[in-house]
A and B are shown apart, each in its own frame.
Chain A
Amino acid sequence: MLEVHNINTYYGKFHALKDISFTVQEGKFVVFLGANGHGKSTLLKTVSGLIPSSTGYIKFDGVEINHLPMHKIVEMGIVYIPEEKHLFPDLTVRENLLLGAYNARARKEKGKNYKLVFKLFPRLEERQNQIALTLSGGERQMLAIGRGLMSHAKLMAIDEPSMGLAPKLKMEVFEKIKEINKQQGLTLLLVEQEVEFSLMISDKGYIMKDGRIVHEDESKNLTIELIQKQYLV
Protein backbone atom coordinates (compact mmCIF):
# COMPACT_ATOMS: atom_id res chain seq x y z
CA MET A 1 0.00 0.00 0.00
CA LEU A 2 2.78 2.39 0.89
CA GLU A 3 6.06 2.29 -0.97
CA VAL A 4 8.86 4.59 0.12
CA HIS A 5 11.94 4.58 -2.07
CA ASN A 6 15.21 6.40 -1.57
CA ILE A 7 13.84 9.37 0.29
CA ASN A 8 16.21 12.13 1.34
CA THR A 9 14.90 15.08 3.32
CA TYR A 10 16.74 18.23 4.34
CA TYR A 11 16.02 20.98 6.84
CA GLY A 12 18.02 23.67 5.12
CA LYS A 13 21.47 22.16 5.07
CA PHE A 14 20.74 19.53 7.66
CA HIS A 15 20.34 16.09 6.12
CA ALA A 16 17.55 14.63 8.21
CA LEU A 17 16.54 11.55 6.20
CA LYS A 18 19.12 9.56 4.29
CA ASP A 19 18.12 7.08 1.60
CA ILE A 20 15.04 5.85 3.36
CA SER A 21 13.28 2.94 1.69
CA PHE A 22 10.58 0.61 2.99
CA THR A 23 7.18 -0.74 2.14
CA VAL A 24 4.12 -1.25 4.25
CA GLN A 25 1.30 -3.59 3.40
CA GLU A 26 -2.32 -2.73 3.87
CA GLY A 27 -3.60 -3.24 7.35
CA LYS A 28 -0.17 -3.63 8.90
CA PHE A 29 0.96 -1.85 12.02
CA VAL A 30 4.51 -0.59 11.76
CA VAL A 31 6.56 1.20 14.40
CA PHE A 32 9.64 3.41 14.05
CA LEU A 33 11.96 3.48 17.02
CA GLY A 34 15.07 5.41 17.79
CA ALA A 35 16.52 8.19 19.84
CA ASN A 36 15.27 11.74 19.45
CA GLY A 37 16.55 13.76 16.56
CA HIS A 38 17.31 10.75 14.41
CA GLY A 39 14.62 11.32 11.87
CA LYS A 40 11.52 9.50 13.07
CA SER A 41 9.21 12.49 13.10
CA THR A 42 10.72 13.78 9.90
CA LEU A 43 9.88 10.49 8.27
CA LEU A 44 6.22 10.74 9.17
CA LYS A 45 6.12 14.37 8.12
CA THR A 46 7.61 13.50 4.76
CA VAL A 47 5.25 10.60 4.13
CA SER A 48 2.20 12.67 5.04
CA GLY A 49 3.26 15.59 2.89
CA LEU A 50 4.00 18.19 5.52
CA ILE A 51 7.63 18.37 4.45
CA PRO A 52 8.93 17.87 0.93
CA SER A 53 11.59 15.33 0.09
CA SER A 54 14.35 16.07 -2.34
CA THR A 55 14.94 12.68 -3.90
CA GLY A 56 13.18 9.42 -4.41
CA TYR A 57 9.48 8.78 -4.43
CA ILE A 58 6.63 7.74 -2.21
CA LYS A 59 3.83 5.71 -3.72
CA PHE A 60 0.50 5.25 -2.05
CA ASP A 61 -1.78 2.68 -3.68
CA GLY A 62 0.47 2.93 -6.69
CA VAL A 63 0.21 6.70 -7.04
CA GLU A 64 3.22 8.96 -6.52
CA ILE A 65 2.46 11.41 -3.76
CA ASN A 66 5.73 12.97 -2.80
CA HIS A 67 5.21 16.14 -4.83
CA LEU A 68 1.56 16.57 -3.98
CA PRO A 69 0.32 19.28 -1.63
CA MET A 70 -0.76 18.01 1.74
CA HIS A 71 -4.48 18.49 1.22
CA LYS A 72 -4.38 16.18 -1.78
CA ILE A 73 -2.53 13.54 0.22
CA VAL A 74 -5.15 13.76 2.94
CA GLU A 75 -7.77 13.37 0.25
CA MET A 76 -6.07 10.21 -0.92
CA GLY A 77 -6.18 8.68 2.51
CA ILE A 78 -3.10 9.43 4.58
CA VAL A 79 -3.57 11.35 7.80
CA TYR A 80 -0.85 12.62 10.12
CA ILE A 81 -1.28 12.99 13.88
CA PRO A 82 1.69 15.02 15.08
CA GLU A 83 3.23 14.96 18.49
CA GLU A 84 2.22 18.59 19.06
CA LYS A 85 -1.27 17.55 17.98
CA HIS A 86 -2.07 20.94 16.45
CA LEU A 87 -5.65 20.96 17.61
CA PHE A 88 -7.75 24.08 17.13
CA PRO A 89 -7.65 25.54 20.64
CA ASP A 90 -10.64 27.82 20.42
CA LEU A 91 -12.93 25.41 18.60
CA THR A 92 -15.04 22.86 20.43
CA VAL A 93 -14.33 19.16 20.45
CA ARG A 94 -17.23 18.78 18.08
CA GLU A 95 -15.93 21.43 15.70
CA ASN A 96 -12.45 19.94 15.78
CA LEU A 97 -13.83 16.54 14.88
CA LEU A 98 -16.10 17.81 12.15
CA LEU A 99 -13.19 19.66 10.59
CA GLY A 100 -11.30 16.40 10.62
CA ALA A 101 -13.77 15.28 7.98
CA TYR A 102 -13.00 18.27 5.77
CA ASN A 103 -11.76 16.28 2.82
CA ALA A 104 -14.33 15.25 0.23
CA ARG A 105 -14.05 11.55 0.82
CA ALA A 106 -14.59 11.92 4.53
CA ARG A 107 -17.59 14.21 4.31
CA LYS A 108 -19.88 11.45 3.17
CA GLU A 109 -18.92 9.30 6.14
CA LYS A 110 -19.02 12.15 8.63
CA GLY A 111 -21.95 10.88 10.67
CA LYS A 112 -20.69 7.34 10.82
CA ASN A 113 -17.17 8.31 11.82
CA TYR A 114 -18.43 10.78 14.38
CA LYS A 115 -20.27 7.99 16.20
CA LEU A 116 -17.24 5.75 15.87
CA VAL A 117 -14.97 8.29 17.50
CA PHE A 118 -17.31 8.65 20.47
CA LYS A 119 -17.58 4.89 20.81
CA LEU A 120 -13.82 4.68 20.96
CA PHE A 121 -13.41 7.70 23.20
CA PRO A 122 -16.53 8.14 25.32
CA ARG A 123 -14.92 10.90 27.31
CA LEU A 124 -14.83 13.05 24.21
CA GLU A 125 -18.58 12.72 23.85
CA GLU A 126 -19.05 14.13 27.33
CA ARG A 127 -16.94 17.10 26.41
CA GLN A 128 -18.10 17.66 22.89
CA ASN A 129 -19.10 21.26 23.43
CA GLN A 130 -16.00 22.26 25.32
CA ILE A 131 -13.25 24.09 23.53
CA ALA A 132 -10.11 22.10 22.93
CA LEU A 133 -8.03 24.41 25.08
CA THR A 134 -9.81 23.19 28.19
CA LEU A 135 -9.09 19.50 27.72
CA SER A 136 -6.56 17.53 29.68
CA GLY A 137 -3.46 16.07 28.05
CA GLY A 138 -4.95 12.64 27.64
CA GLU A 139 -8.20 14.01 26.26
CA ARG A 140 -6.29 16.12 23.77
CA GLN A 141 -4.47 13.06 22.53
CA MET A 142 -7.77 11.29 22.11
CA LEU A 143 -9.18 14.26 20.26
CA ALA A 144 -6.16 14.34 17.98
CA ILE A 145 -6.57 10.68 17.14
CA GLY A 146 -10.31 11.08 16.83
CA ARG A 147 -9.88 13.97 14.45
CA GLY A 148 -7.52 11.81 12.44
CA LEU A 149 -10.14 9.07 12.28
CA MET A 150 -12.67 11.54 10.96
CA SER A 151 -10.60 11.97 7.84
CA HIS A 152 -11.64 8.45 6.82
CA ALA A 153 -8.03 7.65 6.13
CA LYS A 154 -6.60 4.36 5.00
CA LEU A 155 -3.24 5.06 6.60
CA MET A 156 -2.57 6.86 9.82
CA ALA A 157 0.83 8.21 10.84
CA ILE A 158 0.95 8.84 14.58
CA ASP A 159 3.85 10.61 16.26
CA GLU A 160 4.55 9.78 19.90
CA PRO A 161 0.97 9.59 21.15
CA SER A 162 2.01 8.54 24.61
CA MET A 163 4.31 11.50 25.19
CA GLY A 164 3.68 13.26 28.45
CA LEU A 165 0.89 10.97 29.59
CA ALA A 166 0.59 9.09 32.85
CA PRO A 167 1.28 5.34 32.56
CA LYS A 168 -2.36 4.34 32.77
CA LEU A 169 -3.28 6.76 30.01
CA LYS A 170 -0.38 5.52 27.93
CA MET A 171 -1.81 2.04 28.12
CA GLU A 172 -5.22 3.31 27.18
CA VAL A 173 -3.86 5.13 24.16
CA PHE A 174 -1.95 2.09 22.98
CA GLU A 175 -5.02 -0.09 23.41
CA LYS A 176 -7.12 2.28 21.38
CA ILE A 177 -4.52 2.51 18.65
CA LYS A 178 -4.34 -1.26 18.45
CA GLU A 179 -8.11 -1.38 18.31
CA ILE A 180 -8.15 1.06 15.43
CA ASN A 181 -5.71 -1.09 13.57
CA LYS A 182 -7.61 -4.30 14.26
CA GLN A 183 -11.20 -3.19 13.95
CA GLN A 184 -11.02 -0.53 11.23
CA GLY A 185 -8.21 -2.22 9.38
CA LEU A 186 -6.30 1.03 9.26
CA THR A 187 -2.66 0.81 8.26
CA LEU A 188 -0.61 2.43 11.00
CA LEU A 189 2.79 4.07 11.07
CA LEU A 190 3.75 4.76 14.64
CA VAL A 191 6.69 6.65 16.04
CA GLU A 192 7.35 6.02 19.69
CA GLN A 193 9.78 6.10 22.55
CA GLU A 194 7.85 3.51 24.52
CA VAL A 195 9.66 0.57 22.99
CA GLU A 196 8.08 -2.31 24.90
CA PHE A 197 4.47 -1.36 24.41
CA SER A 198 4.98 -0.42 20.80
CA LEU A 199 6.54 -3.75 19.97
CA MET A 200 3.72 -5.55 21.76
CA ILE A 201 1.05 -4.06 19.58
CA SER A 202 2.80 -3.68 16.25
CA ASP A 203 3.58 -6.08 13.42
CA LYS A 204 6.94 -4.73 12.32
CA GLY A 205 9.60 -2.45 13.76
CA TYR A 206 12.19 -0.21 12.15
CA ILE A 207 15.14 1.19 14.09
CA MET A 208 16.35 4.60 12.98
CA LYS A 209 19.67 6.17 13.62
CA ASP A 210 21.13 9.32 12.11
CA GLY A 211 18.37 9.56 9.57
CA ARG A 212 18.77 6.01 8.32
CA ILE A 213 16.94 2.78 8.90
CA VAL A 214 19.57 0.62 10.51
CA HIS A 215 17.51 -2.43 11.34
CA GLU A 216 14.11 -3.85 10.58
CA ASP A 217 12.33 -6.97 11.66
CA GLU A 218 9.01 -8.31 12.75
CA SER A 219 8.14 -6.89 16.13
CA LYS A 220 8.01 -10.27 17.78
CA ASN A 221 11.68 -10.79 16.94
CA LEU A 222 12.79 -7.47 18.32
CA THR A 223 13.90 -7.21 21.89
CA ILE A 224 15.11 -4.35 23.98
CA GLU A 225 18.58 -5.80 24.22
CA LEU A 226 18.88 -6.05 20.46
CA ILE A 227 17.69 -2.46 20.06
CA GLN A 228 20.08 -1.12 22.62
CA LYS A 229 22.90 -2.76 20.74
CA GLN A 230 21.78 -0.94 17.60
CA TYR A 231 21.47 2.41 19.34
CA LEU A 232 24.93 2.16 20.72
CA VAL A 233 26.56 1.00 17.54
Chain B
Amino acid sequence: MQILTPIINAIISGIILGALYAVMSMGLTLIYGVGRIFNFAHGAFIFWGGYFTWFFYSKSHLSYSVSVVLAIIILFVLGLIIDRVMLYSLRKKPDFGIISVLVTLGLAIILGNAGDLIFGTRIKTIPKIIDGFLKVGDFTITYHDIATLVISVAILLFLELFLRKTTVGTALRAISQDNIGAKIVGINLDRLFAFTLALSAALGGIGGVLLAPRFFIAPFVGWEILFKAVIIVIFGGLGSVKGTLISAFILGILEAFVSMYMGMFWVQPMWFILLVAVLFLRPKGLFGEWA
Protein backbone atom coordinates (compact mmCIF):
# COMPACT_ATOMS: atom_id res chain seq x y z
CA MET B 1 0.00 0.00 0.00
CA GLN B 2 2.88 2.30 0.84
CA ILE B 3 4.23 2.19 -2.70
CA LEU B 4 0.86 2.97 -4.18
CA THR B 5 0.20 6.06 -2.11
CA PRO B 6 2.43 8.46 -3.97
CA ILE B 7 1.26 7.00 -7.27
CA ILE B 8 -2.36 7.54 -6.39
CA ASN B 9 -1.57 11.00 -5.13
CA ALA B 10 0.10 11.78 -8.41
CA ILE B 11 -2.84 10.43 -10.35
CA ILE B 12 -5.29 12.47 -8.34
CA SER B 13 -3.18 15.60 -8.70
CA GLY B 14 -2.82 14.83 -12.35
CA ILE B 15 -6.53 14.48 -12.90
CA ILE B 16 -7.25 17.76 -11.17
CA LEU B 17 -4.50 19.42 -13.14
CA GLY B 18 -5.78 17.81 -16.32
CA ALA B 19 -9.30 19.10 -15.84
CA LEU B 20 -7.94 22.55 -15.17
CA TYR B 21 -5.65 22.45 -18.18
CA ALA B 22 -8.53 21.27 -20.34
CA VAL B 23 -10.67 24.27 -19.42
CA MET B 24 -7.74 26.59 -19.84
CA SER B 25 -6.73 25.32 -23.27
CA MET B 26 -10.14 24.66 -24.73
CA GLY B 27 -10.55 28.21 -25.91
CA LEU B 28 -7.38 28.04 -27.94
CA THR B 29 -8.51 24.95 -29.77
CA LEU B 30 -12.01 26.33 -30.32
CA ILE B 31 -10.91 29.55 -31.91
CA TYR B 32 -8.52 27.66 -34.13
CA GLY B 33 -11.03 25.02 -35.14
CA VAL B 34 -13.76 27.49 -35.93
CA GLY B 35 -11.92 30.66 -36.83
CA ARG B 36 -8.63 29.24 -38.04
CA ILE B 37 -6.79 31.70 -35.86
CA PHE B 38 -3.95 30.72 -33.62
CA ASN B 39 -4.60 33.16 -30.85
CA PHE B 40 -1.30 34.07 -29.25
CA ALA B 41 -3.23 36.35 -26.94
CA HIS B 42 -4.97 33.37 -25.34
CA GLY B 43 -2.45 33.32 -22.51
CA ALA B 44 -3.41 36.91 -21.83
CA PHE B 45 -7.09 35.94 -21.62
CA ILE B 46 -6.25 33.27 -19.09
CA PHE B 47 -4.11 35.57 -17.06
CA TRP B 48 -6.62 38.41 -17.14
CA GLY B 49 -9.26 36.10 -15.73
CA GLY B 50 -7.17 36.06 -12.60
CA TYR B 51 -6.36 39.74 -12.87
CA PHE B 52 -9.91 40.98 -13.18
CA THR B 53 -11.01 38.73 -10.35
CA TRP B 54 -8.21 40.08 -8.18
CA PHE B 55 -9.20 43.61 -9.07
CA PHE B 56 -12.84 43.20 -8.18
CA TYR B 57 -12.13 41.20 -5.07
CA SER B 58 -9.20 43.09 -3.61
CA LYS B 59 -9.78 46.56 -4.91
CA SER B 60 -13.51 46.86 -5.27
CA HIS B 61 -14.24 44.54 -2.40
CA LEU B 62 -16.91 42.58 -4.15
CA SER B 63 -17.50 39.03 -3.08
CA TYR B 64 -15.40 36.29 -4.60
CA SER B 65 -18.21 34.82 -6.72
CA VAL B 66 -19.34 38.18 -8.02
CA SER B 67 -15.76 39.06 -8.89
CA VAL B 68 -15.34 35.90 -10.84
CA VAL B 69 -18.59 36.27 -12.73
CA LEU B 70 -17.80 39.88 -13.61
CA ALA B 71 -14.34 38.94 -14.78
CA ILE B 72 -15.72 36.27 -17.08
CA ILE B 73 -18.34 38.57 -18.50
CA ILE B 74 -15.76 41.25 -19.20
CA LEU B 75 -13.56 38.75 -20.97
CA PHE B 76 -16.48 37.54 -23.05
CA VAL B 77 -17.25 41.07 -24.13
CA LEU B 78 -13.57 41.72 -24.74
CA GLY B 79 -13.54 38.76 -27.10
CA LEU B 80 -16.49 40.19 -29.02
CA ILE B 81 -14.84 43.58 -29.27
CA ILE B 82 -11.49 42.22 -30.38
CA ASP B 83 -13.12 40.18 -33.11
CA ARG B 84 -15.28 43.01 -34.39
CA VAL B 85 -12.64 45.71 -34.24
CA MET B 86 -9.61 43.80 -35.39
CA LEU B 87 -10.27 40.46 -36.94
CA TYR B 88 -13.42 41.20 -38.89
CA SER B 89 -11.75 43.53 -41.35
CA LEU B 90 -8.59 41.47 -41.62
CA ARG B 91 -10.39 38.24 -42.39
CA LYS B 92 -10.95 39.18 -45.98
CA LYS B 93 -7.24 39.49 -46.71
CA PRO B 94 -5.47 36.70 -48.53
CA ASP B 95 -2.55 36.47 -46.13
CA PHE B 96 -4.82 36.31 -43.12
CA GLY B 97 -2.77 33.44 -41.77
CA ILE B 98 0.34 35.42 -41.04
CA ILE B 99 -1.63 38.58 -40.30
CA SER B 100 -3.62 36.87 -37.57
CA VAL B 101 -0.40 35.59 -36.02
CA LEU B 102 1.13 39.07 -35.98
CA VAL B 103 -2.02 40.77 -34.73
CA THR B 104 -2.54 38.30 -31.91
CA LEU B 105 1.12 38.62 -30.98
CA GLY B 106 0.71 42.39 -30.85
CA LEU B 107 -2.40 41.95 -28.75
CA ALA B 108 -0.59 39.56 -26.44
CA ILE B 109 2.15 42.10 -25.92
CA ILE B 110 -0.31 44.85 -25.12
CA LEU B 111 -2.45 42.76 -22.79
CA GLY B 112 0.57 41.18 -21.18
CA ASN B 113 2.02 44.50 -20.18
CA ALA B 114 -1.18 46.39 -19.55
CA GLY B 115 -1.52 44.63 -16.25
CA ASP B 116 1.81 45.92 -15.04
CA LEU B 117 0.97 49.37 -16.19
CA ILE B 118 -2.48 49.61 -14.64
CA PHE B 119 -2.00 47.67 -11.48
CA GLY B 120 1.66 47.87 -10.74
CA THR B 121 4.20 45.12 -10.73
CA ARG B 122 3.73 43.69 -7.29
CA ILE B 123 2.58 40.12 -7.24
CA LYS B 124 -1.08 39.60 -6.62
CA THR B 125 -3.05 36.72 -5.28
CA ILE B 126 -6.63 35.69 -5.06
CA PRO B 127 -8.03 33.41 -2.41
CA LYS B 128 -8.87 29.78 -2.78
CA ILE B 129 -12.45 28.87 -3.57
CA ILE B 130 -12.88 27.12 -0.26
CA ASP B 131 -10.35 26.77 2.47
CA GLY B 132 -9.48 23.59 4.19
CA PHE B 133 -8.72 20.08 3.21
CA LEU B 134 -10.10 16.60 3.29
CA LYS B 135 -8.30 13.61 4.67
CA VAL B 136 -9.21 10.12 3.49
CA GLY B 137 -6.88 7.56 4.94
CA ASP B 138 -3.42 8.39 3.65
CA PHE B 139 -4.65 10.91 1.11
CA THR B 140 -5.14 14.61 1.51
CA ILE B 141 -6.93 16.82 -0.95
CA THR B 142 -7.73 20.46 -0.45
CA TYR B 143 -11.34 21.51 -0.84
CA HIS B 144 -10.11 24.00 -3.35
CA ASP B 145 -8.77 21.24 -5.52
CA ILE B 146 -11.99 19.31 -5.27
CA ALA B 147 -13.93 22.42 -6.16
CA THR B 148 -11.58 23.02 -9.07
CA LEU B 149 -12.16 19.53 -10.32
CA VAL B 150 -15.91 19.71 -9.95
CA ILE B 151 -16.17 23.11 -11.61
CA SER B 152 -13.84 22.16 -14.44
CA VAL B 153 -15.67 18.96 -15.17
CA ALA B 154 -18.99 20.77 -15.06
CA ILE B 155 -17.76 23.35 -17.52
CA LEU B 156 -16.41 20.72 -19.85
CA LEU B 157 -19.69 18.85 -19.73
CA PHE B 158 -21.65 21.99 -20.48
CA LEU B 159 -19.37 22.73 -23.38
CA GLU B 160 -19.82 19.26 -24.77
CA LEU B 161 -23.58 19.51 -24.46
CA PHE B 162 -23.51 22.91 -26.06
CA LEU B 163 -21.50 21.70 -29.02
CA ARG B 164 -23.48 18.53 -29.57
CA LYS B 165 -27.04 19.48 -28.80
CA THR B 166 -27.61 23.13 -29.51
CA THR B 167 -28.03 24.63 -32.94
CA VAL B 168 -25.30 27.20 -32.41
CA GLY B 169 -22.95 24.56 -31.08
CA THR B 170 -23.59 22.34 -34.07
CA ALA B 171 -23.12 25.35 -36.31
CA LEU B 172 -19.69 25.90 -34.74
CA ARG B 173 -18.75 22.32 -35.46
CA ALA B 174 -20.02 22.76 -38.98
CA ILE B 175 -17.92 25.87 -39.54
CA SER B 176 -14.84 24.05 -38.36
CA GLN B 177 -15.47 21.24 -40.82
CA ASP B 178 -16.42 23.16 -43.93
CA ASN B 179 -16.84 26.85 -43.80
CA ILE B 180 -18.19 27.20 -47.29
CA GLY B 181 -20.83 24.63 -46.42
CA ALA B 182 -21.63 26.79 -43.41
CA LYS B 183 -22.19 29.80 -45.64
CA ILE B 184 -24.39 27.71 -47.89
CA VAL B 185 -26.79 26.81 -45.11
CA GLY B 186 -27.02 30.45 -44.21
CA ILE B 187 -24.86 30.59 -41.10
CA ASN B 188 -23.68 34.10 -40.32
CA LEU B 189 -20.00 33.36 -40.01
CA ASP B 190 -18.90 36.76 -38.83
CA ARG B 191 -21.29 36.66 -35.92
CA LEU B 192 -20.24 33.19 -34.90
CA PHE B 193 -16.55 33.97 -35.24
CA ALA B 194 -17.04 36.79 -32.77
CA PHE B 195 -19.01 34.53 -30.48
CA THR B 196 -16.33 31.89 -30.61
CA LEU B 197 -13.59 34.31 -29.69
CA ALA B 198 -15.74 35.59 -26.86
CA LEU B 199 -16.43 32.06 -25.65
CA SER B 200 -12.77 31.25 -25.99
CA ALA B 201 -11.80 34.26 -23.90
CA ALA B 202 -14.37 33.43 -21.25
CA LEU B 203 -13.18 29.82 -21.01
CA GLY B 204 -9.61 31.03 -20.78
CA GLY B 205 -10.64 33.43 -18.07
CA ILE B 206 -12.29 30.70 -16.02
CA GLY B 207 -9.14 28.66 -16.41
CA GLY B 208 -7.18 31.62 -15.18
CA VAL B 209 -9.32 32.04 -12.09
CA LEU B 210 -8.98 28.37 -11.20
CA LEU B 211 -5.29 28.48 -11.94
CA ALA B 212 -4.49 31.64 -10.04
CA PRO B 213 -4.07 30.20 -6.55
CA ARG B 214 -1.44 27.85 -7.90
CA PHE B 215 0.58 30.57 -9.57
CA PHE B 216 1.17 34.17 -8.90
CA ILE B 217 -0.71 36.64 -10.97
CA ALA B 218 1.99 38.31 -12.99
CA PRO B 219 2.37 38.89 -16.73
CA PHE B 220 5.18 36.49 -17.38
CA VAL B 221 2.86 33.83 -16.07
CA GLY B 222 0.65 34.57 -19.06
CA TRP B 223 3.40 33.51 -21.48
CA GLU B 224 4.25 30.40 -19.50
CA ILE B 225 0.63 29.38 -19.42
CA LEU B 226 0.23 30.08 -23.13
CA PHE B 227 3.21 27.83 -23.68
CA LYS B 228 1.51 24.96 -21.86
CA ALA B 229 -1.82 25.57 -23.53
CA VAL B 230 -0.12 25.52 -26.92
CA ILE B 231 1.56 22.20 -26.23
CA ILE B 232 -1.65 20.67 -24.90
CA VAL B 233 -3.62 21.77 -27.90
CA ILE B 234 -1.06 20.64 -30.44
CA PHE B 235 -0.50 17.34 -28.73
CA GLY B 236 -4.21 16.70 -28.84
CA GLY B 237 -4.61 17.93 -32.37
CA LEU B 238 -5.20 21.55 -33.16
CA GLY B 239 -8.88 22.27 -33.50
CA SER B 240 -10.05 19.01 -31.96
CA VAL B 241 -12.06 19.45 -28.76
CA LYS B 242 -11.80 15.77 -28.00
CA GLY B 243 -8.07 15.89 -28.61
CA THR B 244 -7.54 18.82 -26.30
CA LEU B 245 -9.54 17.11 -23.59
CA ILE B 246 -7.60 13.88 -23.71
CA SER B 247 -4.30 15.62 -24.17
CA ALA B 248 -4.91 17.86 -21.16
CA PHE B 249 -5.51 14.88 -18.90
CA ILE B 250 -2.57 12.89 -20.21
CA LEU B 251 -0.21 15.81 -19.86
CA GLY B 252 -1.68 16.82 -16.51
CA ILE B 253 -1.02 13.37 -15.11
CA LEU B 254 2.40 13.32 -16.71
CA GLU B 255 3.26 16.63 -15.09
CA ALA B 256 2.07 15.35 -11.72
CA PHE B 257 4.31 12.31 -12.01
CA VAL B 258 7.32 14.29 -13.20
CA SER B 259 6.79 16.76 -10.40
CA MET B 260 6.53 14.02 -7.80
CA TYR B 261 9.31 11.75 -8.93
CA MET B 262 11.77 14.09 -10.52
CA GLY B 263 11.04 17.35 -8.80
CA MET B 264 9.49 20.65 -9.78
CA PHE B 265 12.62 21.71 -11.60
CA TRP B 266 12.01 19.19 -14.34
CA VAL B 267 8.47 20.31 -15.12
CA GLN B 268 9.46 23.14 -17.46
CA PRO B 269 11.95 21.04 -19.44
CA MET B 270 9.35 18.29 -19.65
CA TRP B 271 6.94 20.59 -21.40
CA PHE B 272 9.63 21.86 -23.66
CA ILE B 273 10.75 18.41 -24.70
CA LEU B 274 7.12 17.53 -25.36
CA LEU B 275 6.72 20.53 -27.63
CA VAL B 276 9.78 19.69 -29.66
CA ALA B 277 8.86 16.01 -29.80
CA VAL B 278 5.32 16.66 -31.00
CA LEU B 279 6.34 19.22 -33.59
CA PHE B 280 9.04 16.99 -34.99
CA LEU B 281 7.40 13.59 -34.75
CA ARG B 282 3.70 14.15 -35.19
CA PRO B 283 2.70 17.74 -35.62
CA LYS B 284 -0.88 16.73 -36.24
CA GLY B 285 -1.13 15.50 -32.70
CA LEU B 286 -3.35 12.71 -31.47
CA PHE B 287 -6.45 13.50 -33.41
CA GLY B 288 -5.14 15.45 -36.33
CA GLU B 289 -6.87 18.62 -37.31
CA TRP B 290 -9.62 19.60 -39.61
CA ALA B 291 -7.66 21.06 -42.45
Chain A residues within 8 Å of B, Cβ to Cβ: 48, 50, 69-71, 74-75, 79-82, 84-91, 95, 98-103, 106, 147, 150-151
A80 partner, pick from B178, B184, B188, beta carbons under 8 A: B184
With A71-B188, A102-B185 in contact, do A95 and B170 touch (Cβ < 8 Å)?
yes
Q: Give chain B residues whose Cβ lies under 8 Å from the Cβ of A88.
A: 173-174, 177-178, 181
A100-B177 in contact given A91-B170, A95-B170 (Cβ < 8 Å): no
Q: Which 10 A-B pairs have the closest CB atoms?
A: A74-B186, A86-B181, A103-B186, A71-B188, A88-B177, A71-B186, A70-B183, A88-B174, A86-B180, A102-B185
- B60 lies within 8 A of chain A by Cβ: no
Least CB distance from B216 to A in Å reads: 41
Contacts of A90 in B (CB 8 A): 173, 177, 290
Query: A151 CA to B184 CA in the complex, in Å?
Result: 9
A sample of 11 cross-chain residue pairs with beta-carbon separation below 8 angstroms, ordered by A number, consists of A50-B184, A71-B183, A71-B187, A74-B184, A75-B186, A82-B180, A84-B180, A95-B170, A98-B167, A99-B170, A99-B187
The secondary structure that dominates the B interface is helix
Knowing A71-B187, A74-B185, A99-B185 are in contact, say whether A91-B171 is a contact too (CB < 8 A). no
Q: Which residues of A contact B186 (CB under 8 A)?
A: 70-71, 74-75, 102-103, 106, 151
Interface 1/0 per residue, B156-189 and A, CB below 8 Å: 0000000000010011011001101101111111
Contact of A151 (CB < 8 Å), options: B167, B170, B173, B185: B185
Given contact pairs A71-B189, A82-B180, A91-B173, enumerate 12 new A-B contacts (beta carbons under 8 Å). A69-B190, A71-B186, A71-B188, A74-B186, A87-B181, A88-B177, A88-B181, A91-B174, A99-B170, A101-B185, A147-B185, A151-B185
Closest to A79 in B: B184
Taken together as a complex, chains A and B put the C-alpha atoms of A86 and B190 apart, in Å, by 19
Among residues of B, the one whose C-beta sits closest to the C-beta of A85 is: B181
Shortest Cβ distance from residue A117 to the other chain B in the assembled complex, whole angstroms: 14
| Known A98-B170, A102-B167; contact A82-B184, beta-carbon cutoff 8 A | yes
A50–B180 touching, CB < 8 Å: yes
Which one of B171, B180, B290 lies within 8 Å of A102 (CB-CB)? Answer: B171
Are A89 and B177 also in contact (CB < 8 A) when A99-B170, A102-B171 are?
yes
Q: Which residues of A are found within 8 Å of B183, using beta-carbon distances? A: 50, 70-71
Q: Is A91 a contact of B177 with CB atoms below 8 Å?
A: yes
Q: Are A87 and B185 in contact (CB under 8 A)?
A: no
Distance of B228 from chain A, by nearest CB (Å): 27
The answer to whether B170 and A87 touch across the interface, beta carbons within 8 angstroms, is no
Give A213 to B125 CA distance when docked, in angstroms.
71
The winner among B171, B188, B189, B290 for most chain A CB atoms within 10 A is B188
**Across-interface contacts of A150 in B (CB, < 8 A):** 185
Per a CB cutoff under 8 Å, which of A69, A85, A89, A100 touches B185? A100
Q: How long is the Cα–Cα vector from A95 to B172 in the complex, in angstroms?
A: 12
Q: Give the residues in chain A near B181, CB-CB below 8 Å.
A: 85-88
Which residues of B from 250 to 291 have beta carbons under 8 Å from A?
Answer: 290
A30 vs B178: C-alpha distance in the bound complex, in angstroms? Answer: 28
Residue in chain B with minimal CB distance to A95: B170
How far apart are the CA atoms of A88 and B171 in the complex, in Å?
Answer: 10
Say how far A160's CB is from chain B's closest CB, in angstroms: 15
Contacts of B167 in A (CB 8 A): 98-99, 102
Given known contacts A50-B180, A87-B181, A88-B181, is B187 in contact with A102 (CB within 8 Å)?
Answer: yes
A-chain residues with CB within 8 Å of residue B190 when the two chains form the complex: 69
| Cross-chain contact A87 with B187 (CB below 8 angstroms) | no
Chain A: CB-nearest residue to B189 = A71
Q: A79–B186 Cα gap in the complex (Å)?
A: 9
Across the interface, which residues of B come within 8 angstroms of A81, CB to CB?
184
Interface centre among A69, A70, A151 (most CB of B within 10 A): A70
Q: How far does the Cβ of B163 sit from chain A's closest Cβ, in whole Å?
A: 11
B174 CB to nearest A CB, Å: 5
On whether the beta carbons of B180 and A99 are closer than 8 Å, the reply is no
Nearest chain A CB to B108's CB is how many angstroms away? 30
On chain B, the residues within 8 Å of A79 by CB distance are: 184
Assess A99 versus B178: contact at CB under 8 Å? Given A74-B185, A82-B184: no
CA distance in complex: A211, B200 (Å): 44
Min CB distance A92 to B, Å, is 10
Question: CA A132 – CA B188 in complex, angstroms?
Answer: 22
Partner of B178, one of A74, A86, A100: A86
Contacts of A91 in B (CB 8 A): 170, 173-174, 177
Residues of B within 8 A of A98 (CB): 167, 170
- Chain B residues near A69 (CB-CB < 8 A): 188, 190
The distance from the CB of A101 to the nearest CB of chain B, in whole angstroms, is 8
